[in-house]
Amino acid sequence: MFPGRILITGASTGLGLAIARELQGVGARLVLTARPSSMKRFEALGIVDCEQTWLRPLDVTDVPQREALMAEIDATEEGLYALINNAGLSYRAVVEDVAEADRLHQMNVNFRSPMALAVLALPGMRRRGRGRIISVSSVGGMMAMPTMAVYSASKFALEGASEAMWYEVKPWNIHVTLVQPGFIQSDGFEKVRITEKGQASMANPESPYNAHYTHMADFIAQVMQRVPATPESVARKVCQVLASNNPPLRKAATLDAWLFAWIRRLLPRRMYHWLLFRMLPNIRAWGPKT
């Protein structure tokens, strides 16, 4: 049994819900959060607030909400054992089509908020001499894809800060892990936010980036329908990390994540980028119109 509460952000749907289900199955004491507008999903799923499983509204970007929740958990006798930073979102756009407000919102949700929660969690973990901080990253945190620039930027930032934190808190028996899923069989791509400028580029066949959006959207949608990985299979990898006595800094959670990690290691960087460019869908249609 885990020696304290486990906090999961974004737990009312998708991977967060799958992680919660796995941990409920082994009797873990949980704190499940969702945005206030999404809390009704728990009731529909048959998950109720009780001593074993706390349900708490949390917009991860809301500073008072973050502080109040972490204080409530820290005040309990068992305290917080593990923080699972799962909540996130994805903006889809080429670099030119990202407005500053989009860029800041993406970074706030995927990078600044997980780090802020970690900062709130660490004093109690250091005091107790144990703890886990697991952040759901992405293959997009080790390699970037066209039309996903600002998303990758947020995950690259999360990876860099988490790697530094791995060194910093290890002396207190606090383990930091980045779980890296690749493509997962889900409807997640349909929930990606397309920026206003991105929508205009998609709707305009004369846009210089129209082919980028069209071919990448079709490619990713097809891949996500065919891959074997599911939220449940990735959740099991997260739980393996949580149960491990010596978890790694990075954990590939899907086969494609593992393959891309090895391709990066084995190929010279110039060949690696050349290969990935050639693999882009219908790449000959991108660029200047002839």
Number of domains in the chain: 1
CA distance 284 to 185: 28
Q: Judge whether 135 counts as a catalytic residue.
A: no
Tokens representing 105 are: 């919102």
In a domain, 290, yes or no: no
Which one of 81, 91, 151, 213 is the catalytic residue?
151
Q: What is the mean pLDDT of the chain?
A: 95
> For position 111, what pLDDT does the model report?
98
Among this protein's residues, is 37 annotated catalytic?
A: no
Domain boundaries, position 134: 5-285
Q: Look at residue 187 in the predicted model and tell me its pLDDT.
A: 64
Count CB-CB contacts under 10 A for residue 277.
11
Catalytic choice (155, 209, 213, 251) = 155
Residue-wise pLDDT tens digits, 55-98: 999 999 999 999 999 999 999 999 999 999 999 999 999 999 99
Identify whether 29 is part of a domain.
Answer: yes
Cα separation, 118 vs 266, whole angstroms: 33
- The two beta strands, 80-85 and 5-8, are parallel
How far is residue 132's CA from residue 29's CA, in Å, rounded to a whole number? 14
Nearest Cα neighbor of 83 from 21, 144, 30 is 30
CATH number for the domain including 204? 3.40.50.720
Q: What is the pLDDT of residues 92-147, one digit of tens each?
A: 999 999 999 999 999 999 999 999 999 999 999 999 999 999 999 999 999 999 99
